C-alpha cells in the first residue's frame, strides 16, 4: 500500500471505514449473513520506516476486524499475501 503511514494509522482508518460501511449497510437493511467482504489487511505504507513482521500485521488485521465487523457477518475473503511486495512467498 502506498504511503508513509504506520501500521497503527492504517488500523485506525480501516476500523473507522468498516464501522461506517456496516452502519450504512444496517441502515439500508442489508442482510449481513448473505454478503462477502474483501477487506484490506492492516499494513504500514511502503515508505514507512517501520515495517512490522507478518505476524504483527496478521494480529493487527484480526483485532481490527473483530472490533469493527458485526458478529452475524460470516463472509471474509483476503487476497493472497504472496502477491504483496516484500512478503515471504510460499514454495
pTM value is 0.80
pLDDT digits (tens, 9 = 90+) for 43-81: 999 999 999 999 999 999 999 999 999 987 777 777 655
pLDDT digits (tens, 9 = 90+) for 47-56: 999 999 999 9
Tell me the C-alpha distance between 16 and 14, whole Å.
Answer: 5
Amino acid at each position: 500500500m502506498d504511503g508513509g503511514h504506520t501500521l497503527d494509522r492504517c488500523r485506525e482508518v480501516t476500523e473507522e471505514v468498516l464501522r461506517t460501511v456496516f452502519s450504512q449497510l444496517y441502515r439500508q437493511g442489508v442482510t449481513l449473513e448473505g454478503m462477502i467482504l474483501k477487506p484490506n489487511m492492516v499494513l504500514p505504507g511502503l515508505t514507512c520506516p517501520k515495517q512490522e513482521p507478518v505476524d504483527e500485521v496478521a494480529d493487527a488485521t484480526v483485532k481490527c476486524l473483530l472490533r469493527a465487523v458485526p458478529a452475524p457477518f460470516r463472509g471474509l475473503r483476503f487476497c493472497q499475501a504472496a502477491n504483496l511486495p516484500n512478503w515471504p512467498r510460499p514454495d
